[in-house]
Structure 1
Amino acid sequence: MRITAADVPALERGVALLGSGGGGDTMTAAALLRQHVIHGREPEVPAALDPATPVMPVGIAGSTAAFTEKLPSGSEFATAVAALERWTGARAGALMSIEIGGLNGLMPLVAAVELGLPCADADLSGRGLPRLNQLAIAATGRGLAPAALAEPGGQVLLLAAGSDEAIERGARTFVAGSGGWAAMAFAPVPAGELPGCAVMGSVRAALELGRRVLAAGESPDPDRLAAASGGQVLAMGRVLEVSRHIGPGRHGSAGFGRGSATLTDHRTGALLRLEMENEYLLALRDGQPVASTPDVLAVVDHRTGVPVSCDTIRAGIEVDVLRLAAAPFWTDPRRLPVLEPRAYGIDCDPVLAP
């Protein structure tokens, strides 16, 4: 499969929904991808790769807001990949996304075109995730190290060894002091080993999701929206209140921004409250949990269908709240604790789609 100009809007919509309210603004990444495909440089996403092909996970680390303000020069991914190739001695035969939700669902395709490589139909998240130590290679014990980061100013950092938590801290410290974001690459994984440490088929799944939702049109009724998304409509109504605060940190440091958004479901009169961090994490109807991470909780503008992120949701807008079933990778009891509400400090059992 090749990503064409006609595919870009659907793919952008699909990865935005899978961001679960996070993952960053996809507009800039979609514009970069569109510039490539309209000039005939279409990313290749093979249905299968030779099992021995070294597949290197890549993505953007740091502030996605900073990415839209400080645009890439075009060399960041090539620099990060080259640094890791020198360290590991393994040359990348293909790339893959670290996170299909948000802009990282698109930027690895841009990087693949720039490096002349195919992009595997897989990723390390299956949705939007806030922390590197929650990626699938960490959840399965494969480990994040070694990893390389290259920021727009030219600095390169190689994290040769360390725990997954140490790699997460090191990456955040680097991007905080060097412009806010960096291209990141992890050690290549043989394509034949991806089913054990990645979410397979995620690029095609995002593309198909976007196609169906766009085809549903504006202001769809609940049944049409549920059918198009393949999920469940939790509420349709006006946002009454949004509150924000700093979440719990570790070792005395501040955590991510936390908040909640409350709306009235026009269909039933029930109150739905969404607890959020970088992503929407938990939905409560009249105080009772009805959906949670690792399922994807997506909020879309009722009129346009455009996903509404955690940092832009506000009182007064009319929205639809969707629950999309998590990738089976995350519902495995061995991995569920990595993304369940308690992983974010929320004392609640996971509530998953039936």
Structure 2
Amino acid sequence: MRITAADVPALERGVALLGSGGGGDTVTSAGLLRRLIESGREPVVHAITELAADTLVVPVGLVGATAAFTEKLPGGDEFGTAIAAIERWTGVRGQALMSIEIGGLNGLLAPVIARQQGLACVDADLSGRGLPRLDQFSVAATGRGVAPAALAEPGGQVVVLAAGSDALVERGARAFLASSGGWAAIALAPIPAGELAGHAVTGTVRAALELGTRALAVGESPDRPALAEALGGRVLARGRVLEVSRHVGSSRRGSPGFGRGSVTLADHQDGALLRLEMENEYLLALRDGEPVASTPEVLSVLDHRTGAPVLCDAIRVGAEVDVVCLAAAPFWTDPRRLPMVRPRAYGIDCDPVVSQ
């Protein structure tokens, strides 16, 4: 699948929707992708079946404060440095790249990095949506593990988290980010393409492009049935935001907590109150106090007029929005993996609500 200039708006909309209110603003990464295409270097994304089983695929992306990425732009060497560091540590050379996360800006970065590094790009990722922590990656859920992981920050520092539990790697990465520029490029150990079906969420780039294409095609201010049909999901509410509250969440496993909060809106259709619980992403929806949707399903808040997804840190009182629920990737509905992304994985005492 070749990504052209005409594909960028749809791909950007698709990864923003899958970010579930997190994953960072896609404007900067979309700009990088556009400039790459304008220079005549259109990226090609390969299905895993198009690669030899022994092709070594390196998961790459950006971790940390995504807002800092727009303020402290990459110098151009960070991703190559992280890839080289993981190759030195593992003693093997990567032949292709994949994203650590399809939701948000990371969903657009992998094709750019792969083209810049002269490597193939693979249609798969380690999240299938937006996720806040390294120890929630698909490789953690399957037992393969996150370590070793190499991080390179804009100031030139490089660290390899060589071993340890997934929680320990997550904690070590956060400590490194806190003492550096706020964000870093990350590269994980190469995974043979033949093993990706068991350890990654596959087909996510194409799925994001198709989702974004349908979302843009429905136009501005669509009615509820049209919006639900276009997105292949449910419209949970359409209304005006009445309240937004924010606070610092509780710490987990010795790590400082992410920002937490809730959003309340009144549904114009019947006056019901919908409350969204959020961390870096929207996690749980309650309608008049009753849970109606939750992670691992993807909850997205859309500006009612434009249809553009609204990030958790950007939602404000008075906004007219549509709250939609998109189906979870089948990878995460597997009972063996669901505990990694259910509400209790975020400290919310609620069973997951998963559509059938």
Displacement of 1:87 in angstroms is: 1.1
Name the counterpart of 1:24: 24
Name the counterpart of 2:259: 257
Letter in 2 for 1:30: A
Name the counterpart of 1:38: 38
- What SS does the corresponding residue of 2:6 show, helix, strand or coil? coil
Name the counterpart of 2:4: 4
Displacement of 1:64 in angstroms is: 0.1
Name the counterpart of 1:100: 102
From the superposition, tell whether residues 78 and 277 of structure 1 become closer, same or farther in structure 2 (CA, over 3 Å): same
Letter in 1 for 2:102: I
What are the Cα deviations for residues 98-118 of structure 1, in whole angstroms up to 9, with x where unaligned?
Answer: 000001101111111110111
- What SS does the corresponding residue of 2:45 show, helix, strand or coil? coil
- What SS does the corresponding residue of 1:315 show, helix, strand or coil? coil
The percentage of aligned residue pairs carrying the same residue is: 74
Letter in 1 for 2:312: C
Displacement of 1:89 in angstroms is: 1.3
Displacement of 1:250 in angstroms is: 3.0
Equivalent of residue 333 in structure 1, options 335, 344, 348: 335
Quote the Cα distance in structure 1 between the aligned partners of 2:265 and 2:321: 9
Quote the Cα distance in structure 1 between the aligned partners of 2:311 and 2:17: 9
Letter in 1 for 2:25: D
Equivalent of residue 152 in structure 1, options 151, 154, 159: 154
Q: Is 1:307 aligned to 2:309, yes or no? A: yes
Name the counterpart of 1:294: 296
**Structure 1 unaligned regions, length at least 5:** none
Displacement of 1:251 in angstroms is: 5.6
Q: Is 1:14 aligned to 2:14, yes or no? A: yes
Quote the Cα distance in structure 1 between the aligned partners of 2:31 and 2:160: 29
From the superposition, tell whether residues 252 and 139 of structure 1 become closer, same or farther in structure 2 (CA, over 3 Å): closer
Equivalent of residue 74 in structure 1, options 76, 83, 86: 76
Displacement of 1:254 in angstroms is: 3.6
TM-score, normalised relative to structure 1:
0.99
What are the Cα deviations for residues 150-175 of structure 1, in whole angstroms up to 9, with x where unaligned?
Answer: 11111111111111111111111111
Equivalent of residue 350 in structure 1, options 320, 338, 352: 352
What are the Cα deviations for residues 298-331 of structure 1, in whole angstroms up to 9, with x where unaligned?
Answer: 0000000010010000110100000000000000
Quote the Cα distance in structure 2 between the aligned partners of 1:342 and 1:83: 35
Quote the Cα distance in structure 1 between the aligned partners of 2:252 and 2:16: 29
Displacement of 1:253 in angstroms is: 5.4
How many residue pairs were aligned? 354
Quote the Cα distance in structure 2 between the aligned partners of 1:108 and 1:352: 29
- What SS does the corresponding residue of 1:7 show, helix, strand or coil? helix
Name the counterpart of 1:203: 205
Letter in 2 for 1:190: P
Moved more, 196-205 or 158-167: 158-167
Letter in 2 for 1:305: G
What are the Cα deviations for residues 28-71 of structure 1, in whole angstroms up to 9, with x where unaligned?
Answer: 00001110011111111113211110000001011101101000
1:262-273 to structure 2, matched below 5 A, reads: 262-273=264-275
- What SS does the corresponding residue of 2:3 show, helix, strand or coil? coil
What are the Cα deviations for residues 105-143 of structure 1, in whole angstroms up to 9, with x where unaligned?
Answer: 011111111101111100000000000000000110001
| Aligned residues of 2:82 and 2:187 also touching (Cα < 8 A) | yes
Quote the Cα distance in structure 2 between the aligned partners of 1:131 and 1:184: 13
Quote the Cα distance in structure 1 between the aligned partners of 2:143 and 2:262: 33
Moved more, 314-323 or 104-113: 104-113
- What SS does the corresponding residue of 1:12 show, helix, strand or coil? helix
Displacement of 1:285 in angstroms is: 0.2
Letter in 1 for 2:211: L
Quote the Cα distance in structure 1 between the aligned partners of 2:329 and 2:247: 30
Letter in 1 for 2:9: P
Equivalent of residue 194 in structure 1, options 188, 196, 210: 196
TM-score, normalised relative to structure 2:
0.98
Displacement of 1:4 in angstroms is: 0.8
Quote the Cα distance in structure 2 between the aligned partners of 1:165 and 1:115: 30
Name the counterpart of 2:171: 169
Q: Is 1:248 aligned to 2:250, yes or no? A: yes
Name the counterpart of 1:115: 117
RMSD: 0.9
Equivalent of residue 138 in structure 1, options 140, 155, 178: 140
- What SS does the corresponding residue of 1:102 show, helix, strand or coil? coil
Quote the Cα distance in structure 2 between the aligned partners of 1:125 and 1:149: 18
- What SS does the corresponding residue of 1:245 show, helix, strand or coil? strand
| Aligned residues of 2:171 and 2:255 also touching (Cα < 8 A) | no
Quote the Cα distance in structure 2 between the aligned partners of 1:135 and 1:285: 30
Letter in 1 for 2:31: A
Quote the Cα distance in structure 1 between the aligned partners of 2:253 and 2:11: 39
Displacement of 1:179 in angstroms is: 0.5
Displacement of 1:273 in angstroms is: 0.3
